[in-house]
Structure 1
Amino acid sequence: MNSTVISDKKTSMQSIISDLKQLAKVGLSLSVVFSSIAGYLLAVETVSYFTLFLLGLGGFFMVGASNAFNQIIEKDTDAIMKRTQNRPLPTGRMSVNVALTIAVLFTIFGLAILYSINPKSALFGAISIFLYTCVYTPLKSVTPLTVFVGAIPGAIPFMLGWVAATNNFGIEAGFLFMIQFFWQFPHFWAIGWLQFEEYKKAGFNMLPMGSKDKGAIKQIIFYTVIMILVSIAPVLKVSGSFYIHPITAIIVALFGVMMLFYGVKLYKSEDNIDARKLMLSSVLYITVVQIIYVVDKFLH
C-alpha cells in the first residue's frame, strides 16, 4: 500500500513539473537565455558570473511569464490544434487561476532580478512581456502583421545581454536587436508554412499576405537576405564597438546562404519538407552565429 502511495505521489509530482515546463515552454525559454548570455559576453571586458547568473534567471522568468500569459489567452484555440491540445490548460490539468498566479509571479521575479542588474534591463524585459502578451498574442487572429509585432519581443533577448553588461542602449545593442529581428521572419514563416492548416483551424494567419503560396516565400527570401546583410555589417565597423573580422563575416554569410538555399528550394517546390529544412537551418543559424560572434570577440 505504502509503495503505491509513494509512486502515486511521485507520478503526480512528475506531471506537475511537466505541466510547469510546458506552461513556461522551458526549451524556448532556455534558447532565449542563451541569446541574452551571448549578448552579455559580446559586451563585457571582464565577465561577472553573478551578473551572468542573474541575467539567465531573469531572462528565463521573463520568457516563462510571456509564454504562460500567452497560453492563458489562447486556452481555447490551443484546444483546437493538434500541436497544442495536450498543454496543461486546454486539457484542464491546470486551472487558469493557477496559471495566472505563476505568470504574475514569473513577471515579478523576472523584472525584479533584471532590475537588480540595472533599470534599463528591467525596462526592456517589461516591454518584451507587454508586447508579447498584450499585442502579439491578440493580433494573431486578426492580421498576419502580428509576426512583425512578435519579432520585437523576440529580438530583445540578444540585445538585453548587451544592455545588462553596459547599462547602455547604443548602436551595438541596436545591431544585435536587428540581427535577431530580421531572423525571425524566415524562421516564423517557415513554421507558419508547416502549421498553415492547423493555424487556419484556430483562426490564426501567420503567413505574409495570408496565403500559402510563392508570394509568402518571396517575403521569406527577401528577409533572409536582409538578415544576412545585417549579420555581416559589423565587419564594416559601422556598429560601434561591436566588430567582427572578415573571416568571421564570411563564415556567418555561409550559414546565411544555407538558409537562403532552403528558402529558394522551398520557392521551387512549395513542399513542407523544404519548409522544415528551412526552419531547422534557421535555428542552427541563430545559435551558431551567436557563438561565432562571441568566439570572434575573445580571439581579438
Structure 2
Amino acid sequence: MSTVSTIQEKSSLKTLFTDFKQLTKVGLSVSVVFTSITGYLLGATEIDFTTIVLLAIGGYFMVGASNAFNQVIEKDIDAVMQRTKNRPLPAGRMSVTTAMVIASFFTIAGIAILYAIHPKCALFGAVSIFLYTSAYTPLKAVTPLAVFVGAIPGAIPFMLGWVAATGTFGIEAGFLFMIQFFWQFPHFWAIGWLQFEEYNKAGLHMLPMDKKDRGAIVQIIFYTCVMILMSIAPVLEVTGSFYIHPITAVIILALGGLMLYYAFVLYKSQQNTDARKLMLASVFYITVVPIIYVVDKFLH
C-alpha cells in the first residue's frame, strides 16, 4: 500500500512541477533571460556574475508572472483552443487562487530582484508585467492592434540587460529595444497565420486586419525589412557605444534575408507549412543575432 501511495505522490509532484512550468512558460522565460544576459554582456565594461544571476532570476520571475496572470485572465479562452485546453487552469488541475499566488509572488520577487540591480531595471520590469497583463492580454479579444501593444513588453528584455550593465537608458538601449520590437511582428503574425482558425474560434485578433490573406504577409515583409535595418544600423556608428563591424553587419543581413526569403515564399504559397518555416526562422534569428553582437564586441 505504501509503495502505491509513494508512486502516486511522485506522480502528483511531477504533475505539479509540469503545471508550474506550463503556467510560467519556462521555455519562453529561459529564452527571455538569455536575451537579457546578451544585452548585459553588450553593455558591460566588466562582467559581474552576481548581476548576471540576479538578472536571470529577476527576468524569469518577470516573464513567469506575466504568463501566469495571462493564463488566469484567459482561462476560458484557453479552454476553447486545442493548443491551450490542457493548460493547468482550463484543465482544472490548478485553481485560479494558486495561479494568482504564484503570479503575485513572482511579480513582487521579480521587481525586488531587478531593483537590487538598478531601480531603472525594476521600473522596466514593472512596466513589462503591467502592459502584458493589463493591456496586451485583454486587447487580443478586441483588436489586431494588440500585437503592437504586446510588442512593447516583449521588446524590454534585450534593453533591460543593457540597463542592468550601465544603469542608463540611452540610444544603445533604445536600439536593442527597437530590434526586438520590430522582430515580434513577423514572429507573432507567423504564429497568428498558423493558429488563425483556433484564434478565430476563441475570438482573438492575432493577424493584421483580422484576415489570413496576402495583405497580412505584406505587413510581415515590411516589418521584417525594418527589423533588418535596425539590426545592421550599429555598423553606421549612429548608435552610441553600440557598434558592429562590417563583416558582422553582412552576417546579420544574411540572417535577416533568410527570414525575408520565407516571408516571400509564404506570400506566394499562403501555406501553413511555409508560415511555420518563417516562424522557426524568426526564432533562429532572435537567438543567434544577440550572440553575434556579443561575439563581435569581444573579438575586437
Flag structure 2 segments of 5+ consecutive residues without an equivalent.
none
Q: CA deviation at 1:124?
A: 0.1
**What are the within-5 Å matches in structure 2 for residues 49-128 of structure 1?**
49-128=49-128
Q: Give the Å deviation of 1:205.
A: 1.2
Aligned to 1:181: 181
Return the offset for 1:154. Answer: 0.2
Q: Does residue 298 of structure 1 match 2:298?
A: yes
Q: 2:195: which partner in 1?
A: 195
1:53 and 1:266 map into 2 onto residues whose CA distance is: 40
Secondary structure of 1:91 counterpart: coil
Is residue 46 of structure 1 aligned with residue 46 of structure 2?
yes
The SS at the match of 1:63 is helix
Alignment partners' CA distance in 2, 1:109 and 1:247: 42
Calculate the TM-score normalised by the size of structure 1.
Answer: 1.00
Q: Which residue of 2 aligns with 1:10?
A: 10
Q: CA deviation at 1:2?
A: 1.5
Equivalent-residue separation in structure 2 for 1:201 and 1:72 (angstroms): 19
SS across alignment from 2:47: coil
User: What is the alpha-carbon distance in structure 2 between the residues aligned to residue 294 and residue 86 of structure 1?
Assistant: 38
In structure 1, give the amino acid aligned to 2:32. Answer: V
Counterpart position of 1:215: 215
Letter in structure 1 aligned against 2:173: A
What is the deviation of 1:45? 1.2
SS in 2 for 1:88: coil
Deviation at 1:3, TM superposition (A): 1.3
| Matches of 1:113 and 1:73, distance apart in 2 | 25
Q: Deviations over 1:247-270 (max 9, x none)?
A: 000000000000000000000000
Q: Find out whether 1:145 has 2:145 as its counterpart.
A: yes
Aligned residue pairs, count: 300
Residue pairs, 1:241-252, within 5 angstroms: 241-252=241-252
Shift of 1:107: 0.1
The Cα of 1:4 is off from its aligned counterpart by 1.0
Structure 2 residue aligned with 1:278: 278
Aligned-pair CA distance for 1:136: 0.1
**Hey, what's the Cα distance between the residues in 2 that align with 1:234 and 1:83?**
39
Q: CA deviation at 1:275?
A: 0.2
SS of the aligned residue for 1:45 comes to coil
The one-letter amino acid of 2:258's match is M
TM-score by length of 2: 1.00
Alpha-carbon distance in 2 for matches of 1:235, 1:216 = 31
Amino acid at match of 2:110: G
CA distance in 2, matches of 1:63, 1:116: 18
1:271, distance to aligned residue in structure 2 (A): 0.5
- Equivalent residue letter for 2:202: A
Shift of 1:188: 0.2
Q: Could you list the runs of 5+ residues in structure 1 that have no partner in the other structure?
A: none
How far the C-alpha of 1:226 sits from its partner, in A, is: 0.4
Q: Deviations for 1:132-153, whole angstroms, at most 9, x for unmatched residues?
A: 0000000001000000000000
Q: For 1:237 and 1:7, how far apart are their aligned partners in 2?
A: 61
Find out whether 1:266 has 2:266 as its counterpart: yes
For the aligned residues, what is the CA RMSD?
0.4
Aligned residue type for 1:19: D
Structure 2 match to 1:239 = 239
Identity, in percent, stands at 71
In the aligned structure 2, how far is the partner of 1:45 from the partner of 1:125?
23
